Amino acid sequence: MTKAIEQTDIFSMFDIEDEHAIKMEAAKAAAIKQHEQRIAELKEAKDKNDTTPAAAPKKEPFKVLVDTIVRYAGMDLPVTDYFTVEEIENGLPVKKKKSDENSGDEIEFKPITENDLRKKLEQDFAELVANFTQLVYIEKKNIIAPILSAKKKGMVDCLETSANAGVSVSSKKKIPFSILADFIVVAKGFSNSFGTEVHADIYFDLDKQEFFMDFPKQVVSPLLCSVDENIAWINAEKFGDRRYIKIMEIHSHHVMPTKPSSTDDLNERAPILYAIVGRLDKFFPDIIVRTFNKNAEKHVYINPNKIFECPPIFESYATYLHDISEVEVQ
């Protein structure tokens, strides 16, 4: 008796191995093993209470030279687009009262500060807001890299948040569902193993024209995830010359609801996307997406379907064999 062979694709038709699929499966298996090993290492470190801090990255003092370049959003912007050569060389004029009250004010010149440049950049890039933006000076390249840094996220002091509102979102480029799935898998791992939250950043690579996700250096607990205070310098080293922009900050509330806390509200105030994934104990976790409207000074909620690709999961698995002829619509 001849055994029937089920043909599923052109490779099985000719008994050819799909090398790409094999490589992908091998890479996935290796990644799963690495993930499991990292969870085991974290458990061991937690049990030993081993919290030896890593060496801090090198911080070069901030400076602005005439030929300094600001590298952001895939562009190299001469600093002379924002300040004159005279201002760069001599400093910005600042009024200073003389000790003699009748003598009026005198002018002194101070070097351009990080915040002076940030305020100029914010006029072109609305997301580079105060308290959430750090400008990293890389001396060997004479470039300044603006880094939008995440702050603490968590469920501490949960309060009522702003009301839902509509927002116009471009549907030309959505974040792949695979990235969201990857985050949920990692978040579930930390929730199940440690009962903690976890944070990730989602970026868009301007050269490859694709999204990528990064789990930055952070400390997580059941109520908070705190990104390292040196993250701007860490990212400057990690990503090097890669041309990218930050699209979203996403964090989990493990088995708790997605309702943003007061900590979330205070630290999610740039006009980028923010997502919270909660109730990871449910069959389908909950997710909310929002942004911050600088003009209205409030958070605006967005339908996740407008942000993430939504694969036809149910349609793919449904059999469509059930009779619905007895159903009427009023």
Query: Is the confidence at residue 47, as pLDDT, over 90?
Result: no
The pLDDT of residue 167 is above 70: no
What residues does each domain of the chain span?
A: 69-148, 150-316
- 3-state DSSP call for residue 162? coil
For residue 167, the 8-state DSSP code is -
Task: Tell me the average pLDDT across 13-41.
Answer: 67
User: What confidence tier does 53 reach under pLDDT thresholds 50, 70, 90?
Assistant: low
Query: Quick one: 39 exposed, middle or buried, by C-beta within 10 A (0-12, 13-18, 19+)?
Result: middle
Paired residues of 96 in beta bridges: 106
Kindly state the average pLDDT of the residues 2-10: 53
**pLDDT category, 25, cuts 50, 70, 90?**
confident
What pLDDT score does 157 carry? 43
- CB-based contacts of 292: which residues, under 8 Å, 6+ apart? 268, 269, 270, 271, 272, 274, 298, 299, 300
The mean pLDDT value for 166-178 works out to 68
Give the closest residue to 247 by CA, choosing from 296, 205, 282: 205
Distances from the Cα of 134 to the Cαs of 47, 116, 123, 309, in angstroms? 35, 12, 16, 31
How much is the pLDDT for 183?
97
* Fold classified for 150-316: Cytidine Deaminase; domain 2 (3.40.140)
pLDDT tens per residue across span 54-88 = 666 778 899 999 999 999 988 999 999 999 999 99
Average pLDDT, rounded, for the chain: 84
* Model pLDDT, residue 151: 77
- The structure's pTM equals 0.77
**pLDDT tens, residue by residue, 255-311:** 999 999 999 999 999 999 999 999 999 999 999 999 999 999 999 999 999 999 988
Rg (C-alpha) for the chain, rounded Å, is 25
Residue type, 49: N
Q: What is the pLDDT of residues 215-248, one digit of tens each?
A: 999 999 999 999 998 999 999 989 988 999 999 9
% of the chain beyond a pLDDT of 90: 62
**Closest residue by Cα to residue 302 from 174, 157, 128:** 174
Tokens of 315: 């349609």
Per-residue model confidence (pLDDT) at position 273: 97
pLDDT band at 18 (very low <50, low <70, confident <90, very high): low
Residue 159 has pLDDT above 70, yes or no: no
Q: Are 105 and 33 in contact (CB under 8 A)?
A: no
Q: What is the pLDDT of residue 155?
A: 58
